[in-house]
């Protein structure tokens, strides 16, 4: 019988990706009879996530102290997720379906982990005002996709981390401005794929 290992790569996710991952863990473990007594209660895990989100919002204003506080909140959340992952490993190490039902991912059973291919932007459409809807050609073994945008000659700005390749909503844009959009996969042996070629589209 195969022994499956819980993937601990979430510790290297970008802040937004870690936040989304935590939400998925809480949702997946809520009412999950396979994991009745997690070492960190879901209420406590939710409280740690909220503390991290608040610190992340505060750190966006800049400043060394606020950034340090955000990093401390992130470390505390990651520690709680690692404890939960160890618990899932203990109960589901030989049951891949049960393991995946927890929201955690399993390490590849392949002896050689390979870099991710680069995703391609298939199309960009206008959604509601100030939004662009991005559809990617997904890549095998990607755990998530990171998107960034650039307005004119300005610098690249993060637009979020998304678990799906289609229907990615990029919001907060200025109507009438043309944005360049890039995406990359998260996962594989190097952690990230290369960025896709940029595609431009006007926000409405």
Q: What is the pLDDT of residue 147?
A: 92
pLDDT of residue 135: 95
Structure tokens at 61: 């204003």
Q: What is the pLDDT of residue 111?
A: 45
51 lies in the same domain as 79: yes
The strand pair at 178-187 and 199-202 is best described as antiparallel
Would you state the pLDDT for residue 2?
58
**Whole-number Cα distances in Å, 180 to 24, 73, 148, 151, 196:** 29, 33, 8, 7, 11
Indicate if 56 and 128 belong to the same structural domain: no
- Decide if pLDDT at 152 tops 90: no
The total number of structural domains that make up the chain: 2
Residue 164: per-residue pLDDT: 85
115 falls within a domain: no
Share the mean pLDDT of the chain: 90
pTM listed for this prediction: 0.58
Nearest to 204 by CA among 173, 180, 182, 168: 173
Is there a single domain that holds both residue 68 and residue 144? no
31 and 97 inside one domain? yes
- The pLDDT, as a whole number, for residue 108 is 63
Structural domain that includes position 196: 120-202
Q: CATH no. for residue 149?
A: 2.60.40.10
Instruction: Tell me the per-residue pLDDT of 122-148, one tens digit each, with 9 for 90 and over.
Output: 999 999 999 999 999 988 888 788 899
């Amino acid at each position: 019988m195969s022994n499956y290992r819980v993937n601990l790569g979430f510790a290297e996710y970008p802040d937004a990706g870690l936040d989304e991952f935590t939400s998925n863990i809480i949702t997946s473990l809520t009412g999950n009879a396979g994991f009745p007594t997690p070492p960190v209660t879901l209420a406590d895990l939710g409280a740690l996530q909220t503390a991290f989100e608040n610190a992340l919002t505060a750190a966006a204003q800049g400043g060394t102290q606020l950034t340090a506080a955000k990093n401390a909140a992130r470390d505390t959340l990651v520690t709680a997720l690692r404890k939960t992952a160890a618990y899932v490993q203990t109960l589901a190490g030989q049951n891949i379906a049960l393991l995946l039902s927890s929201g955690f991912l399993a390490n590849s059973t392949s002896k050689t982990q390979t870099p991710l291919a680069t995703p391609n932007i298939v199309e960009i459409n206008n959604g509601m005002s100030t939004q662009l809807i991005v559809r990617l050609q997904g890549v095998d073994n990607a755990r998530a996709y990171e998107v960034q945008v650039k307005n004119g000659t300005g610098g690249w700005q993060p637009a979020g981390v998304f678990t799906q390749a289609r229907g990615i909503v990029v919001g907060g844009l200025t109507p009438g401005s043309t944005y360049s959009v890039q995406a990359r996969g998260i996962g594989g042996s190097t952690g990230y794929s290369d960025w896709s070629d940029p595609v431009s589209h006007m926000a409405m």
